[in-house]
Structure 1
Amino acid sequence: MAVDFKVIVIGRGMMGAAAARHLSGMIDGIALIGPGEPSDRKNHQGVFASHYDEACITRTFDDNMVWATLADRSLDRYADIEARSGISFFSEVGCLFAGPKPRAGEGYLGRALDVAGVLDLDVETLDPATLRGRFPQFNIDGSFHGFFQERRAGHINPRALVRAQSTLAQAGGVEVIDATVTGVRDVGSYVEVEVEVGGKTYSAERILVAAGGFTNFNSLLPEPVDVRVAARTVVFFELGERELETFGSMPAAIVFGETDDDHVYILPPVPYPDGKTYLKLGGDTEAQVFETLESAGEWFRSEGNPSERDIIAATAQTLMPGLAGCPISSASCVATFTRTAYPYAGFTASSRIAVLTGGNFVAAKSSDEIGRLGAVLMTDGVLGPENFGEQLTPVMRASHGR
């Protein structure tokens, strides 16, 4: 049977759009299927994505060599993607880490310094006095040290990055189909993909499922991948002219408490589509997880967890007293955690259906390279050691007896 496409990528988010762009330069016959951002989030009953935002931290300073390398390779291509698409998404404002003085190889900061040494990253170490003097916007613990990556660090606009990837994918011949996939079926010599509207089906030689936190829903895979889809609440401070004078030149930042688990990430002031400028913060302390499309959708339609919002807001005002009096709002997103703590990029029980998912709450900065690995998987059938094939092997729930 003649198929409609050689490869269908399911999911028009950060990984899926990147995979489609890379595939467009490798082979013909590519389709990218997925819905766009809903215009009415609170009443939307379908799937969502976590890239519906204007700012995510990017940097190569990381405590894990694989993640640092994925980010480094992605950053290498930012300028080219911007130039060829005509869409800007990277703001090189630097990224500051602050926390208790680390010991070599111990804790996040200690491990990150070791990785930075191996990769020869340009990271400046700041003693407590220098840290407080250099970044007066922050009321940081007087004993904390700072680690500042000025170049190849800052924040990206995830919405704009997805637009840029999709624009280049289409220019390369990819057919972008605005639809929600409701089923995938391996029929032996090809794969059928059914979409929501009219029950229409498309066929392909191979399928790459890159549906983020919704990967295990809508019968996209022959068996579920072992992931934990967890709630995250983000908090926004609406800034006026006075606050912009104080915080307008700040970098992106991650500030630790006494332990690695106790930390907050901070995005500098960014204009949003409503015409206002916000400073965004978040953490990763929530325990709520989602096992159904309905529960995940209900979360995305909400403004997040009010208790978590209050905790983050209080932390923000302690760290940045200049935020006092700013209007506060919140929003919901999800993080998809894998059993291995790495992205999954590999085939399922079907040799025609592969999966690309698992951002582990740190993948926005690395999404272009993760997408490239998905494209290599589709064309070569395997990822070699240079592409971290062993580390990225998917773990399926069935293999753990669940």
Structure 2
Amino acid sequence: MNGSMTGPTTAAPTARFDVAIVGLGAMGSAAAAHLAARGVSVIGFDAYHPAHGLGSSHGDSRLIRLGYFEDPSYVPLLQRAYANWRALEGRLRDEILTITGVLQIGLPDSKIVSGTLKSSDMYGLASETLDAAALRARHPAFAIDDDEIAVLDPQGGYLRPEAAVMGHVKLAVADGAVLHFGEKVTAIRPQAEDITVETATGRYSVGRVIVATGSWITDLVPDLAGKAMPIKQVVAWYQPADGFLTTPQRMPAFIRDEGEDGSYFGFPAIGVDGVKVGRHAHFMEEIDPHAPNPPVNARDTDLLDAFVRRRLPTAAGLRVRATTCRYTMLPSEDFLIDLLPSDPRIVIASPCSGHGFKFTSVVGEILADLALDGGTRLPIGAFSFEAMNRFIASRGTRAELENPTL
């Protein structure tokens, strides 16, 4: 069966597909590819063009690592994700995942360092601990305090997000998926037999629906209002003062625990713009997902400039550019990947709380499992509505966590 990729359509209301996917960013495009590869009739919708700049899947690079400090329960999913990324590369005959190693830097008892070591020990992952002197000798781009250490994940590196999204789109279409870009879904209406998906220009009958709309998730899943919070994320690129020190061979990608100042991430000079740096969740500044991305301002760049001066003094010089993207955060900063409690024919795949892109290749597989079988063998119990609501009941919503006076 031949697929197609089109703009808005006036398909007849009787058009029927096994699965509809709403949102064709990272997770939606991966789900489309996995479902189409299984011979399922798939239709996908996105209000914009592939790999557009209003979501969370642009900006040249995304970290990937195995020793996951957030929680060891993520490691099996990462192991599957690595295998799926390599399988995607095999079909595309293109490189998506590049290994540079990832350094996790901070005090020995910091969350990032201790969590990485815990995950590595639990799963027998390769890692190497460097004291301050060893890090300075081996990777002189980094400034490190005498009481800090670094844990090297030798299997870490970076992904090319735009290439990954476009690759999944390409394979989905090649395997028969029908993808409509520039066509916004306005309603999902469950019926007794099928589900009707409505857009401004068409109505479609489907058996199952996957909703993966990122920062717009509450438009179609009002249960997540007040829980899924879109925020402004800023990253900047710096032209290195010493280009020799910032090549991927000499400067691994990194995450840095700055204690009360949060955590920062960055990449070696993998493109013409140089070293890329960002602060996880930036200022946790809520945005309107229906408005254009807020512009980068002086407060944004002052934060990143100060970090670069302090922690990458020889690696970065002139700031070349800075841009805004979006995170969509849950209070727990975990994912939400589950069947909608009120109708298990609808699968929810969002938000990913600012650290989900590396899992895209396995989340696509999970979403295909959930849509077709109502379950998956892969471990996603921590990403359920029940787990989210349990956390909120004990700790509060994101807004309450950020403002305890609420």
TM-score range, shorter chain: 0.7 to 0.9
Q: Which runs of 5+ in 2 are unaligned?
A: 1-12, 398-406
2: CA distance, partners of 1:40 / 1:185? 27
Residue pairs, 1:123-142, within 5 angstroms: 123-142=127-146
Q: 1:325 to 1:303 in 2, by over 3 A?
A: same
Q: 1:204 to 1:57 in 2, by over 3 A?
A: same
Q: Is the counterpart of residue 280 in structure 1 residue 273 in structure 2?
A: no
Q: Is the 8 A contact 2:25 2:50 kept in 1?
A: no
Report the alpha carbon displacement of residue 117 of structure 1 after superposing the two structures with TM. Answer: 1.0
Letter in 1 for 2:224: P
Identity of counterpart residues, as a percentage?
22
Report the alpha carbon displacement of residue 222 of structure 1 after superposing the two structures with TM. Answer: 5.8
Partner of 2:243: 244
Q: Is the 8 A contact 2:296 2:323 kept in 1?
A: yes
Partner of 1:44: none
The alignment partner of 2:363 has SS state of: helix
2: CA distance, partners of 1:238 / 1:80? 34
- Picking from 164, 184, 188, the partner of 1:184 is 188
Report the alpha carbon displacement of residue 95 of structure 1 after superposing the two structures with TM. Answer: 0.6
Q: 1:3 to 1:97 in 2, by over 3 A?
A: same
Deviation track 1:314-366 (CA, whole Å, cap 9, x = no partner) reads: 11122121256413421111212224432212222223222111211111111
Q: Is the 8 A contact 2:51 2:58 kept in 1?
A: no
Report the alpha carbon displacement of residue 312 of structure 1 after superposing the two structures with TM. Answer: 1.2
Q: Is the 8 A contact 1:303 1:332 kept in 2?
A: yes
Partner of 1:387: 378
The alignment partner of 1:362 has SS state of: coil
- Picking from 54, 58, 62, the partner of 1:56 is 62
Report the alpha carbon displacement of residue 70 of structure 1 after superposing the two structures with TM. Answer: 2.0
1: CA distance, partners of 2:104 / 2:332? 25
The alignment partner of 1:146 has SS state of: strand
Q: Is the counterpart of residue 171 in structure 1 residue 171 in structure 2?
A: no
Partner of 1:351: 344
Q: Is the 8 A contact 1:3 1:190 kept in 2?
A: no
User: If the length of structure 2 is used for normalisation, what is the TM-score?
Assistant: 0.84
Q: Is the 8 A contact 1:190 1:352 kept in 2?
A: no
Q: Is the counterpart of residue 29 in structure 1 residue 41 in structure 2?
A: yes
Report the alpha carbon displacement of residue 71 of structure 1 after superposing the two structures with TM. Answer: 1.9
Q: 1:89 to 1:38 in 2, by over 3 A?
A: closer
Partner of 1:334: 326
Q: 1:170 to 1:391 in 2, by over 3 A?
A: same
Q: 1:293 to 1:99 in 2, by over 3 A?
A: closer
Report the alpha carbon displacement of residue 2 of structure 1 after superposing the two structures with TM. Answer: 6.1
Q: 1:286 to 1:253 in 2, by over 3 A?
A: same
Report the alpha carbon displacement of residue 54 of structure 1 after superposing the two structures with TM. Answer: 0.6
Partner of 2:217: 215
Q: 1:94 to 1:40 in 2, by over 3 A?
A: closer
Q: Is the 8 A contact 1:67 1:366 kept in 2?
A: no
Partner of 1:200: 202
Deviation track 1:152-200 (CA, whole Å, cap 9, x = no partner) reads: x11001001111111221222111111222222223322222224xx22
1: CA distance, partners of 2:316 / 2:172? 44
Q: Is the 8 A contact 1:10 1:209 kept in 2?
A: yes
Report the alpha carbon displacement of residue 224 of structure 1 after superposing the two structures with TM. Answer: 3.1
Q: Which runs of 5+ in 1 are unaligned?
A: 42-47
